Amino acid sequence: MSRARPIEVDGRTIWFDTSANHKRATVTQLELLAAVEDISIDDLLDEGLSQGQLLFRLREKIHGNLIPAEVMERRRLRRIEAARQPECRICSPAGLECEGQITRHHFIPRWLMRELENYTAYAARVKCTIPICVGRHRDLHYRDGEQGGKSIVDCLTADEKAFGAKLLGELQEQHPKIFELLASGDETTYEGTLIRDFLAGRFHQKY
């Protein structure tokens, strides 16, 4: 029996793989759910949803296979706004075509920042995020080995590297067990790669 399920969007069918292999959500599917739930796609990317999980959430918000007109208008406006954003830090230098709209990627994950005693001083997105398209952003968050490595340090400016070094240094000092646990992670995790880059001195600028 087929595990594919359809949703109609803009006159075309988007198929969702709901099999037990937990296939990663596509860029189009993620953009659609963000518009349906009226949430930031940046927040949605943190969740690492499979296609089956994403479809379940869509079904909770819509009836049948058709997306409401107000959702489609919200999706259209978001794409227009995203087109005004800076270029993707990953795609642009490499000459790659971006997958989806531009998002704001927390180069030090928010859940790690929240562990710090003075988190509120760092919370502003202008300090701790960089522009990355939905597709590359998704690839960084999924805990697998697809789509290349997880290192982000070469995409950061000198000031961003210094800011990242400050936060990671505070994490090492304030929460050494969390720091050591992440450092021992494999190369398929963004956090593990981040810590190893820090320990290797790749965040070499002083804050």
* pLDDT for residue 130: 94
* pLDDT for residue 207: 45
Record the pTM: 0.74
* pLDDT for residue 188: 80
Give one DSSP letter per residue of 36-102, joined into a string: HHT--HHHHHTT--BHHHHHHHHHHH-STTBPPHHHHHHHHHHHHHHHTSPPPTTHHHHTPPP-SSE
Instruction: Tell me what the pLDDT averaged over the chain comes to.
Output: 83
Residues 6+ apart with CB under 8 A from 81: none
Q: Is the pLDDT of residue 24 over 70?
A: yes
For residue 20, name the pLDDT band (cuts at 50, 70, 90): low
In whole angstroms, give the CA distance from residue 90 to residue 190.
Answer: 15
Q: Tens digit of pLDDT for each residue in 83-133?
A: 777 899 999 888 888 888 888 899 999 889 999 998 888 777 778 899 999
* pLDDT for residue 61: 83
Domain ranges (residues) in the chain:
4-82, 86-199
In whole angstroms, give the CA distance from residue 61 to residue 177.
Answer: 40
* pLDDT for residue 108: 93
Q: Tens digit of pLDDT for each residue in 167-190?
A: 999 999 999 999 999 998 777 889
Q: Is the pLDDT of residue 25 over 80?
A: yes
Tracing tokens 């993707």 back to the chain, one arrives at: 88
* 37 phi and psi angles, rounded to 5 deg: -85, -5
